[in-house]
Structure 1
Amino acid sequence: MIRIRDLYLNYPDGTCALKGVGLNISRGEFLLICGPNGSGKTTLLRTMSGLLKPTSGSIDINGFDPIRNSREIRTLMGIVFQDPDSQIVGETVREDVAFGPENLGLAPTEIDNRVNWALHKMGIENLAEKPCYLLSGGEKRRLAIAGVMAMKPQVILFDEPFANLDYQGIREIVTYMIQWHQEGNTLIVATHDVEKVSAHVDRIAVLQSGEIKISGNPEDLFKELPRFGVRPPCYVLLGGEKLSWLE
């Protein structure tokens, strides 16, 4: 479904943020991209979604290029940013969730149906008419996810989704991720905090200094994480059985 080939991205100041990244991501896969802060995780997700133009290399998503086929990519793929404020554009919760479907040119009835469905799915239908600036941090995170859900993408990208969330907020996000994966969607989560989703992902890829260092089965690679500056799950450090954050 997604093929990334020899991807490079240089920022205007000369920083090489991505260095020959190559990845194949299958339809319906739950992929964890982990790495220390500054390793290029956010840059990779933004490049995959077409928000950044690579210096060289290629990205193919169901036959579409993120830069040349931006409309098709918006239909196929959604991204949830680390800071929900950066993607909230509506005055009220309902207006914000409707923004994406409106930009897809959908009929008003379909927009309303999608908005109501996404609000219900995220448990924020009671906040529909509330001004976005009055929302709590956790409510804003759920709103940002609802906005992506209303687009009904096949691929969902999460950039550090657990940042600044309390225990209950983390449990909610992990639960939503598991549900979407079970529904056949492709999930790509970029984080330095592998503990939260380690028991549920199909594969991990370790990014360091803009390069994919290793990629493969989680249970085979977790013990390798410390040499790349990433803390493995506690159950790996303690030599215990695989443990979900939800247990």
Structure 2
Amino acid sequence: MMAVEVRNLHYKYPDDTVALRGVNLTVGKGEKAYIIGPNGSGKSTLLLHLNGILKPQRGKVVILGTETEKWGEEVKKKVGLVFQNPDDQLFMPTVYEDVAFGPENMGLGEAEIKRRVKNALKIVGMAGFEDRSPHHLSYGEKKRIAIATVLAMDPEILVLDEPTLSLDPWIKKSFIELLEDLGENRTVVISGHDLDIMDLCDHAYLMDEGRIVGEIKNKKEIFQKYRSLLRKRTNLISGNQK
């Protein structure tokens, strides 16, 4: 069974910005897929469809064999989405309350909630931070807590939007090691610009202007295709169609 199937997905925002123009993507169970592309290419919009935050206007998104619209709110338990900005995910007074929020809304008992919070914080290397205020943490620490809030719900599919964005190089290295650990026994979909993440993934796809342009086999190919896309955009802006 495929974990994720995106079929001819189209989406336009209320201000008439066309974000997706017929996206097709498949990710097998247990695979790690990386979606790379320039800003504005539609990566974040695509990810927001995977756990039902956005609904397809045309086309289909199928998660574990069932369309997202048929899953309803249950799809959020199957697909855990970590936002690009951790401040969009953390809103409670303490780390414990943020990480416990999802399990509490799943109707789990107190003992199970505590177990999940403890386990999730341990996985992301933030054990002992339960009573800290998320808003007083460093950016990298907030990123880890944001991941813990999703792990506590034990999703089958983990989706991360630009997880290494704005991280200092020495912090990024340990963060990439964390991403590698998270990929064990779980389907993972990641978007971003960081070529180092490609080494963690089974497949990498280049996205531009709301479409998956193609699969990328190596880092050299990324530079070649990026150069081609930039040249194409420059020609369109200048009116040169050659």
TM-score normalized by the length of structure 1: 0.86
Gaps of 5+ in 2: 231-242
User: How far apart in 1 are the matches of 2:31 and 2:225?
Assistant: 21
Considering only aligned residues, what root-mean-square deviation do their CA atoms show, in Å?
Answer: 1.7
Rounded Cα–Cα distance in structure 2 between residues aligned with 1:42 and 1:212: 13
Aligned residue runs from structure 1 range 13-162, under 5 A: 13-162=15-164
- 1:6 aligns to 2:12 (yes or no): no
Q: Distance in 1 between matches of 2:164 and 2:219?
A: 22
CA distance in 2, matches of 1:101, 1:94: 11
Deviation at 1:218, TM superposition (A): 3.8
CA 1:83–1:229 in structure 2 vs 1: closer, same or farther (change >3 Å)?
A: farther
Alignment partners' CA distance in 2, 1:67 and 1:172: 37
Per-residue CA deviation, residues 42-93 of structure 1 (Å, 9 max, x unaligned), is: 0000111211122110011013332342332122111111110001122100
Return 4-13 or 163-172, whichever deviates more.
163-172
CA contact (8 A) 1:75 1:153 kept: yes
Q: CA deviation at 1:152?
A: 1.1
**Letter aligned with residue 135 of structure 1:** L
Report the CA distance between 1:221 and its aligned residue. 4.1
Structure 1 residue runs without a partner (length 5+):
231-247
Q: CA deviation at 1:168?
A: 2.8
SS in 2 for 1:20: strand
Q: 1:222 to 1:22 in 2, by over 3 A?
A: same
2:141 and 2:187 map into 1 onto residues whose CA distance is 24
Structure 2 SS opposite 1:51: coil
Q: In structure 1, give the amino acid aligned to 2:201.
A: V
Once the two structures are TM-superposed, the CA of residue 3 in structure 1 deviates from its matched residue by 1.0
Identity over aligned pairs, percent: 37
Instruction: Give the structure 1 partner of residue 189 of structure 2.
Output: 188
One-letter code of the match for 1:196? D
CA 1:109–1:229 in 2, change beyond 3 Å: closer, same or farther? farther
- How far apart are the structure 1 equivalents of 2:11 and 2:228? 21
What's the CA shift for 1:198? 2.0
